Amino acid sequence: MRTVLSILLVGALVWGCKKDDPPSPPGVVSLVAPAKNTECSPIDSSSGNTNLVQFTWQADANSESYQLRIQDLNSGTTQTKTTTALSEILPVNKGTPFSWSVTSMNTKVTETAVSETWFFFSPGTELSYAPFPAEIVSPNGPKAFIDGSGEVTLEWAGSDLDNDIEQYQIYYSNTTPPSLYDTTTVNEASSISVPAISNTNYYWKVVTIDREGNSSDTGILSFTAI
């Protein structure tokens, strides 16, 4: 009998000392609409200068709320909206390109998770569309590896609703703002190899230009060559 009681007592002590599993951080949500690199379909265009656009994304099991972030690519101004829902409707200017993303949040942890950033165009009366800013493929982090030739590969992907991208201007240097390094046509590969020295910081950006002279800019990016 004493043996049974001892086992039960030890079991109770072990169970009482067991720690709860830490809460899981939020995950990255998948964006749904407006679709990537498209002209959106507003739910209401009756206002003179703005469209009402519905933004939708998928749920994350470890998230309590979401912050929707929309940026006007012409002016740089942003709108943010925090919600527990999976959809929000916001007004955006007509005839304007935008980017949007969603940050997942949970009050039990400090970590957050940011989705991909998608571009879309809010329709207006335009006859020609500016290209979307090039999507950066590589380097996509704070460090870039130097290959056996002493170079780093810069890679991007362009998109334009008119499909009339004509050229890319690549700016690259170890000072900021970077200087113009090269110009490539759309028929050439959307990548370029550039010389780099280990443990040196580099700055770069891509300017996309279409046949009408419209352009877009990725903004300045940076990495450390290793």
CATH class of 132-225: mainly beta
**What residue spans in the chain does CATH classification 2.60.40.10 cover?**
31-122, 132-225
Answer whether residue 23 shows pLDDT above 80: yes
Q: Look at residue 215 and give its three-state secondary structure.
A: strand
How many CB atoms neighbour CB 140 within 10 A? 11
Bridge partner residues of 118 (DSSP): 100
Q: Is the dihedral angle over the CA atoms 159, 164, 167, 169 positive or is it negative?
A: negative
Q: What angle do CA 34, 38, 43 make, to 5 degrees?
A: 45
Q: What's the helix, strand, coil split of the chain in %, to 5?
A: 5, 50, 45
- Would you say residue 79 has pLDDT above 80? yes
Contact 154, 144 (CB under 8 A): no
In this structure, the chain runs to a length of 226
- For residue 136, the one-letter residue type is I
Query: What distance in Å separates the CA atoms of residue 142 and residue 31, rounded to the nearest whole number?
Result: 25
Compute the average pLDDT of residues 42-62: 95
pLDDT at 18: 55
Look at residues 194, 201, 206, 205 and name the one whose alpha carbon lies nearest to residue 142.
201
Stated pTM of the model: 0.81
Please check the confidence at residue 8 and state whether its pLDDT lies above 50. Answer: no
CA dist., res. 153 & res. 140, Å (int): 11
pLDDT tens across 66-76, in order? 999 999 999 99
CATH topology of domain 31-122: Immunoglobulin-like (2.60.40)
pLDDT tens digits along 111-131: 999 999 999 999 998 778 999
Three-state DSSP state, 7:
helix
Token pair, residue 71, equals 């940026």
